[in-house]
């Protein structure tokens, strides 16, 4: 499972600074996934962020720098994307993507166990 350790540390530090959330790290999706309050929030895959957000804003989010459509097995996944280094390099852009994921996380349903 290859993923950017520095990026994972950056995400970890950002999330740990937020009070009253439970963070769990899981190795999945060929990388590292950060679960927030029992729900998948954001992942690191290679040098990319994999973000989860409201599917309704896909077009708006798709115009952002670094956005890459998430396609698995030939199917586009709305509400998910990859963000390459160009899209998260600055502090402002990094915080945008993480806050986008956290906003959705509050509304997302937990997966069945």
CATH number at residue 85: 3.90.1150.30
Cβ–Cβ contacts within 10 Å for residue 84, how many? 15
Residue 55 lies in a domain: yes
Judge if pTM exceeds 0.85.
yes
Higher pLDDT, 109 or 79: 79
Range of the domain at 83: 5-105
| Average pLDDT, integer, range 61-65 | 96
Q: Which of the pair, 98 or 30, is modelled with greater confidence?
A: 98
Percent of the chain with pLDDT over 90: 88
Q: Rounded to whole angstroms, how far apart are CA atoms 26 and 100?
A: 20
- What's the structural domain count of the chain? 1
Which residue carries 């190795």 as its tokens?
A: 27
Is 112 inside a domain boundary? Answer: no
> Which ranges of the chain does DSSP label H, i.e. alpha helix?
5-16, 58-62, 85-88, 91-107
pLDDT of 29 over the 90 cut: no
In this structure, the number of other CB atoms found within 10 A of the CB of residue 102 comes to 19
């Amino acid at each position: 499972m290859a993923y950017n350790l520095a990026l994972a540390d950056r995400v970890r530090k950002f999330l740990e600074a937020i009070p009253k959330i439970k963070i769990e790290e899981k190795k999945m999706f060929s990388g590292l996934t950060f679960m927030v309050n029992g729900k998948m929030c954001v992942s690191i895959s290679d040098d990319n962020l994999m973000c989860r957000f409201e599917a309704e804003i896909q077009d708006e989010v798709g115009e952002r720098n670094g956005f890459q459509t998430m396609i698995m097995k030939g199917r586009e996944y709305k509400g998910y994307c990859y963000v390459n280094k160009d899209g998260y390099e600055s502090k402002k852009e990094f915080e945008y993507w993480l806050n986008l994921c956290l906003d959705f996380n509050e509304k997302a349903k937990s997966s069945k166990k």
